[in-house]
Amino acid sequence: MHPCRPGLYVVPNLPKDQTNGPFLLSGGEYTEPINLIPAKRPRRQDWDGELYENGSFYIGTRDLILKENSTQGRKVAYFEMEPEHSVDIDVDIDWPVAEERVLRFGYFGRGVSLMFCRVSRCLTDGRVFLSASGEDIVSIQTKDTTGLRMLQNDGVEVVLLISNEDPVTQSMAEKLKKVMGCEVMDVGDDPLRDVQLVVEKKRLDWKDVAYMGNDRADAACLNLAGLSGVPADAPRDAADAAKYTCHQAAGTGAVREFAEHVLLQKEKAKTQMKQDRIDRKNF
């Protein structure tokens, strides 16, 4: 069964007293509506047709509600929602399922256009190598830098975050700018303060932002971002705040994995907008 906008179901041979006339769909097929007469609307649990209403939203005119005592009627169409965006909450045990859907898929408008990524313990694995010459060395996985470039090629602005507590990444700032072609920004003990200024300056909502972190200090940003992720080895405080937990650990491909997740969600958002335009044109 698939969720849909309330008011229209694809069913054959309905009794005429339960219908309000046939509707022509965009593909040229006729379908019979049911559930337009409030007194005869079956419970969702009792309906075993192909589509069922999930009650996500209702659209009706003032006269329809006041004069006909109905939330549905007149010109009606249906919109089929993807299963991950429609969860029935009938009993307490349904809440964890709904929460997991939100954490896994996220919800945002036109898609992410800005991503913040911690360098230490996201782009790097947190280890520091001591060379014979006395220089401190860190390594960055090329698949992670490729993932960030994939985001940039798709129109997502990437901002790398470094901290005064990470002297090695501080010394790497200029090289990171040159290699990655993106901004490298210092953040303090509370990253939200610094990141919020950038979000406001670019006139974005948090739903348009992706954030990848790996520390308790990142929790507030992870909570606010439309899409947020942490590596597999993130501490619990950060993992609980993130909407996506990578299978890969920091410095071993986690950034690439999260970048692919962001691109997948962007593509789904684009597809949905395209479908919305088609539906409005045909309605």
Active site amino acids: 41
Number of other CB atoms surrounding residue 222 within 10 Å: 27
Closest CA to 34 of 63, 26, 90, 46: 46
Q: How many helices (H) and strands (E) does the chain have?
A: 8, 12
Name the 3-class secondary structure at 55. coil
Total length of the chain: 283
Checking DSSP bridges between strand 23-24 and strand 30-31, what pairing results, if any?
A: antiparallel
Burial class (CB within 10 angstroms; exposed 0-12, middle 13-18, buried 19+) of 124 = buried
Burial class (CB within 10 angstroms; exposed 0-12, middle 13-18, buried 19+) of 30 = exposed
Residue 3's φ and ψ, nearest 5 degrees, are -75, 150
